[in-house]
Amino acid sequence: MRRPCPLRIMALVITVAVTWIVVSILLGGLGFPRIQQLFTSQENSVTAEPRARKYKCGLPQPCPEEHLAFRVVSGAANVIGPKICLEDRMLMSSVKDNVGRGLNIALVNGVNGDLIEARAFDMWAGDVNDLLKFIRPLHEGTLVFVASYDDPATKMNEETRKLFSELGSKNVKDLAFRDSWVFVGAKGVQNKSPFEQHVKNSKHTNKYEGWPEALEMEGCIPRRPAAS
């Protein structure tokens, strides 16, 4: 009987060993990286960029001390409702089920930032006297957050515009049917508010069919000093 040639035995052993190593690599065994990782260079590896940090109400940077962070978003056409956020608390939104067509208004204590009351007023088919009763008796320093939805102006009268103007609005006098409007004012302000945006309803510039684009405004409002 012929003995196996040592060279053949060695070749067989090498073949088995190489096969075992290849299978181990493919299956990720023995701590070897997978085949695709072997062909991935450091330059081609994708590193996820860190997310930009967001602060209260999604602001890109924190507000100074003794300031209130806010974000006000008007409604989009008559489909997506408005939002009013203050100090990371959602005061009005569709999720909270407290928004509606017309003007969405949140009254806030200017000293501590507490919500006083939030209501929606239908400015197409509602009674403007309900709105007047809401904003006439405001106390000095009360913050007023306003976000339009669908139509903010059809039922507006001169007294309504005058009251909002006294709260610091410069655009309310021009507010019309289906305009987009966001505004933050206060009872007793001496100057016009820096927190106001207004887009006219125009078929030439409207983003939606029959409505202009939605507006989004954010910022930091100084707290009112507590009465001594």
Question: Does an H or E element contain 23, and which?
Answer: helix 6-26
pLDDT value at residue 3: 54
Q: What is the extent of the structural domain holding 104?
A: 56-222
- Distance CA(85)–CA(93), nearest Å, equals 9
AA letter at 27 = L
- Distance CA(201)–CA(176), nearest Å, equals 8
User: What string of H, E and C letters represents the secondary structure of 119-188?
Assistant: EEECCCCCCHHHHHHHHCCCCCCCEEEEEEECCCCCCCCHHHHHHHHHCCCCCHHHCCCCCEEEEEEECC
- Please report whether residue 208 resides in a domain: yes
pLDDT, block means (10 residues), the chain with 228 residues: 60 68 54 42 50 85 97 94 98 98 98 97 97 97 97 97 98 97 95 96 90 96 86
- Please report whether residue 84 resides in a domain: yes
Q: What's the predicted TM-score (pTM) here?
A: 0.77
- Please report whether residue 37 resides in a domain: no
pLDDT value at residue 199: 96
| Sequence-separated (6 or more) residues with CB below 8 Å from residue 1 | none
- Please report whether residue 182 resides in a domain: yes
- Please report whether residue 215 resides in a domain: yes
pLDDT value at residue 185: 98
pLDDT value at residue 28: 53
| 105 neighbors 144 (Cβ within 8 angstroms) | yes
Question: Does an H or E element contain 215, and which?
Answer: none
Based on the structure, what is the number of domains in the chain?
1
- Distance CA(131)–CA(59), nearest Å, equals 30
Distance of alpha carbon 132 from its chain centroid, rounded? 29
- Please report whether residue 111 resides in a domain: yes
pLDDT value at residue 129: 98
